[in-house]
Amino acid sequence: MDSLPSNQAVKRMIDQLVKRLEEANYAYHVLDQPILLDYEYDQLFHELKALEINNPELIASNSPTQRVGAKPLSTFQTMPHEMQMLSLDNAFTLQDILAFDRRIKSRLMHAKFTYICEPKLDGVAVNLLYESGQLIQGLTRGDGYYGESVTDNIRTIASIPLRLRGSDWPERLEVRGEIYIPKEKFKVMNADFVLVGKKPFANPRNAAAGSLRQLDSRITAERSLQMCCYSVGMMTGDPLKTQEQMLEKLNEWGFRVNPLIKTVKTIEACEVYYDAILERREALPYEIDGVVLKVNEFIHQKTLGVLVRAPRWAIARKFPAQEATTCLKVVEFQVGRTGTITPVGRITPISLGGVMISNVNLHNMQEIQRLGLCINDTVIVRRAGDVIPQIVGIASNSESTNRLPILMPIHCPSCQQKLIKTPGLVAIKCLAGLNCLAQKREAIKHFVSRKAMNIKGLGEQLIQKLLDQQLIQSAADLYLLTVDDWMKCDRMATRSIDNILKSLALSKQTTWKQFIYALGIHEVGESTAQILAHHFLNLNQLMVASQTELQQLPSIGETMADNISTFFKDPNNQAMIISLQNSGVTWPTNEIKMQHNAVLSGQNWVLTGKLSQMTQEQASDYLIALGAHVNPVISKKTNRLLIGDHPGSKLQKAKKLEIDIWSEVQFIELLKQYELL
């Protein structure tokens, strides 16, 4: 009888199989040059899986069998990038590109440099962190400083190496790239969705974004995602000299790099490249929305530096906005939260850039008159920047004999109140306030939104049903609804009702700033809500504040002060606030009052790292109370950097700029000195 192989022998067999499968993945997904037939790959994969099942202690994290298998997440964790992920400024014309070139040359004092040109994939940017050659983290771009951890989903993408190839890679490396779905894979996926009654995605970019943010990585694994890398972030070891060299290295280490990337010597050659890629756009197997131009040499990139969120050494040359003609069928007038009337055009649906468009924002009557629009006109619709649909004119071949004028209604389309036009302003408004059903609906939508009370599960249609059945008259009534009340709404299952009730209960514990913002006071956005929350210690102080006192606060002028004062004098608003408080809506007592003649007045502070005795948001509140401005990025204008644990790249930049660095201990001493702690 044959003896069983030893543990070491099994490990060698597993290592050999992992290596062969990695080589096959690289050849197929990166080089597009398969070295194994599908059945050969499957046979090796199943052989590896069988060995790992019998020897679970020998399973490596980089094994191809470990790309899928993690338990579904309940939420995504937000994590910091090692180095900020920058955005790109856009150029739409040749003149924009020539101006970009002039700026480069003037800053480099006519030093020799080259440009590297890349197709701009229309997908989702991600940041991958490798340590000792192993993939340990994958983040979305987020705000450039923090992103959502989608590591389990990243691991399912075959064109992303779980372990870097070769041996000359850095000890720690951030790789940036674009996640996308090829056009053909997108068509097949949408066709499958339609067959099973699911709503198809509007375009490949939305499909890629939705697939990457699945809480269950097994779903992501089914979505045919791919990645092309385009840059690095943090990288230890000896630096490379050019973007071109860096991309070659990334390809050697196992990443897909776009084969259409080209290095050129002049800005004129960049424009030739742009024209060539634009001509090939429709034939490419993936969606692109322009090309990216970068100064190739890293030494010059460093000299040029960055603005707040965008590098000076790179720019996105966007393709012309896509246009199509269609018929303007109807113009409807919508009522906003503050009573402003906005015309919306309903058009014969058309597809632009993979998105079906049936509505266009006409802004106001002045814009309609400028364009000379009538109902039944054949109009030109453009997606400006491939995002916002708008009518830019009437088609030259528009020959409708049934052109009907577009007339602004005299009365509110929701409550029939007579509309008012304020002299000197374009906007036409309904002044009925919460007596107008449409304004009431929009006010409740604002109240439940994420940055306000963050009540999940309450969309526009459900709010409308509650209003139609007179189950609520204001946002405060949401907290008074019973299970029986919710059951009166069509298609409300027990589970949905339970989730909404839980979300309502959670929302009762809010913050003072969020509560002010949630009230929906005209022109009071997040920043003004924060200013009010810092100045007024409680609700009573704010409600009785005079317009004179309000105007003494930063960024609050006469009109806004009048809006705030008028809001709190309204009996309906007073009743709503009392009802909210009676329902248990509360927030921590604000003990941080903005100090007049504050010691930090005019100073710019930046925070980084995890603080041990408070959150960054609490630290920001204290700084604002002392008169400081809190900024997200380090610059020459920064006065001080407050650091906690794991401060990241901001600390190095602050040292380089010789910015004053404060520890949490120093900061707490300052707060104690001014009796804020």
Q: What is the CA radius of gyration of the chain?
A: 29
- Domain assignment present for residue 140? The answer is yes
Residue 125 has pLDDT above 80, yes or no: yes
How many domains in the chain? 6
Same domain for 653 and 528: no
Same domain for 295 and 175: yes
Whole-angstrom distance, CA of residue 107 vs CA of residue 114: 15
Give the predicted TM-score (pTM) of the model.
0.54
% of the chain residues with pLDDT over 70:
92
Same domain for 643 and 573: no
The CATH number for 41's domain is 1.10.287.610
With tokens 């393709």, the residue in question is 319
Which domain does 500 fall in, by range?
433-507
Overall average pLDDT of the 82-96 stretch: 88
Same domain for 341 and 375: yes
Whole-angstrom distance, CA of residue 360 vs CA of residue 628: 42
- Domain assignment present for residue 78? The answer is no
| Structural element, H or E, at residue 57 | none
Residue 18 has a pLDDT of 82
Whole-angstrom distance, CA of residue 303 vs CA of residue 312: 9
Same domain for 122 and 239: yes
Describe the crossing of helices 460-468 and 437-448 by its angle, rounded to 10 degrees.
130
- Domain assignment present for residue 221? The answer is yes
Describe the crossing of helices 616-625 and 664-673 by its angle, rounded to 10 degrees.
40
Same domain for 521 and 493: no
Q: What is the bridge-based pairing of β-strands 124-131 and 134-140?
A: antiparallel
The CATH number for 570's domain is 1.10.150.20
Residue 7 has pLDDT above 80, yes or no: no
User: Which of 302, 318, 334 is at the close of a domain?
Assistant: 318
Residue 469 has a pLDDT of 93
Same domain for 620 and 570: no
In 10 A of CB 133, how many CB atoms? 19
| Structural element, H or E, at residue 639 | none
Residue 336 has pLDDT above 80, yes or no: yes
- Domain assignment present for residue 76? The answer is no
Overall average pLDDT of the 435-452 stretch: 93
Check if 502 is active-site.
no
pLDDT digits (tens, 9 = 90+) for 602-614: 788 889 888 888 8
The CATH number for 392's domain is 2.40.50.140
Same domain for 339 and 310: no
Residue 1 has pLDDT above 50, yes or no: no
pLDDT digits (tens, 9 = 90+) for 261-310: 999 999 999 999 999 999 999 889 999 989 999 999 999 999 998 876 78
User: Which of 479, 507, 535 is at the close of a domain?
Assistant: 507
Same domain for 437 and 372: no
User: Which of 446, 480, 507 is at the close of a domain?
Assistant: 507
pLDDT digits (tens, 9 = 90+) for 614-673: 888 788 878 877 877 777 678 888 899 999 887 877 888 888 888 999 999 999 988 888
Over the chain, what is the mean pLDDT?
A: 87
Please identify which of the residues 19, 105, 112, 120 carries the catalytic annotation: 120
Same domain for 140 and 274: yes
Residue 592 has a pLDDT of 59
Residue 468 has pLDDT above 80, yes or no: yes
Chain centroid offset of residue 242 CA: 30
Residue 68 has pLDDT above 80, yes or no: no
Same domain for 209 and 294: yes
The lowest-confidence range among 261-270, 295-304, 364-373, 589-598 is 589-598
Residue 65 has pLDDT above 90, yes or no: no
Overall average pLDDT of the 402-431 stretch: 89
Residue 604 has a pLDDT of 84
The CATH number for 624's domain is 3.40.50.10190
In 10 A of CB 75, how many CB atoms? 7
Overall average pLDDT of the 66-91 stretch: 78
- Domain assignment present for residue 16? The answer is yes
Residue 5 has a pLDDT of 64
Residue 385 has pLDDT above 60, yes or no: no
CA distances from 293 to 105, 272, 299, 537, 555 (A): 14, 12, 16, 51, 39
CA distances from 675 to 614, 635, 672 (A): 16, 30, 5
Same domain for 29 and 51: yes
The CATH number for 284's domain is 3.30.470.30
% of the chain residues with pLDDT over 90:
49
